[in-house]
Amino acid sequence: MFEIGSVSIENRLLAAPMAGFTDKAFRIILKNHGAGLVATEMISAQALVYGQEKTMFMLDLSGEEPPVAVQLFGSEPRIIAQAARIAADRGAHIIDINMGCPTPKIVKNGEGAALMRDPNRAVRIVEAVVKAVSVPVTVKMRSGWDENSINCCQIAVLAEAAGAQVVTVHPRTREQLFSGKADWSLIRAVKQVVKIPVIGNGDVTSPQKARQMLEETGCDAVMIGRGCLGNPFIFRRTRQYLETGEIPPEPTAEERINVARQHLVLACRFKGETKAVLEMRKHLGWYIKGLPHATAVRARMNQARTLSEIEAILESLSRIINQGDGSCGLFSK
């Protein structure tokens, strides 16, 4: 068990909030495959306060197995606090404050990773959110803005003093974006200066990497982001490895195709067929990566417009793999 304030989490393996990926359908898939905690895509505090329809839809947590964290981004303490109250009223079990998003359209407004350059504003945001809600408040941060301003330890200490109950450290700078190697030594450095739990994030792509992060950094839990794209199985496999020391086999091609199909059906249920089929293309590409004819299959799926078309393509792929025969030409062009 792992605890974030009053919230008990089944294990120490958490799914990272990822814009464009961790919608309701994917959260359910991740939970079903062993993630102890899932989180929404980052949600604009201002849009939530304004009641923007698309944003309110992103906040829909109905029917999901708890706990679910809601991640908010913004730069105004009053607005984020108000948004946090809305999220908590709508079922958020944890409010996470985004201090890590590196994208230009976010940081240009002083939001996301830009808060690493403004510790005073960052701490006022945490204080405001902690006062506004009764659920635990957490902070997800980068190591700093650039290599000359590594200040994750400072921000973590300030966040703890302001009432944050957990900090998550993705030890890349904003300027690194998602390139280069995550510096896990900074997770360990943060762990040494705060008393609250520290979650490590970055470059965990296998059960072995998760165990390595826990051992090298002393972090209390591991958050997996890009490593679970097309691979929700990583949570179940990692949990078994941590508990038994045995590494479970990789999922079979059939398992990957079946879960891709389940994910697609869920997405169609929640978003409607037309929108879901378009948005699922990126997920489907991850699920079939490395399988026979993956490039040709992906090209076919990118032309599909309906659930039935995608299901037919996946069924054909499954049949070819099971028969061990690619000579039928379905994906050879």
- Average pLDDT of the segment spanning 127-134: 98
Considering just the CA atoms, what is the radius of gyration of the chain in Å? 20
pLDDT tens-place string over residues 46-75: 999 999 999 999 999 999 999 999 999 999
- Out of 101, 153, 228, 268, pick the active-site residue: 101
pLDDT tens-place string over residues 277-318: 999 999 999 999 999 999 999 999 999 999 999 999 999 999
Q: How far, rounded to the nearest angstrom, does the alpha carbon of residue 13 sit from its chain's CA centroid?
A: 11
Residue 325 has pLDDT above 70, yes or no: no
Q: How far, rounded to the nearest angstrom, does the alpha carbon of residue 57 sit from its chain's CA centroid?
A: 18
Q: Can you read off the two tokens belonging to residue 16? A: 């990272």
What is this structure's pTM? Answer: 0.94
Confirm if 202 and 219 have CB atoms less than 8 A apart: no
Neighbours of 289 (CB within 10 A): 14
Q: How far, rounded to the nearest angstrom, does the alpha carbon of residue 192 sit from its chain's CA centroid?
A: 25
101 is catalytic: yes
Task: Give the helix, strand, coil percentages of the chain, each rounded to 5.
Answer: 50, 15, 35
Query: Which among 269, 305, 270, 298 has a CA at the least distance from the CA of 283?
Result: 298
SS3 at position 332: coil
> Which helix (H) or strand (E) is 269 found in, with range?
helix 253-271
Neighbours of 269 (CB within 10 A): 12
Q: pLDDT category, 327, cuts 50, 70, 90?
A: very low
Amino acid type, 34: G
pLDDT tens-place string over residues 64-113: 999 999 999 999 999 999 999 999 999 999 999 999 999 999 999 999 99
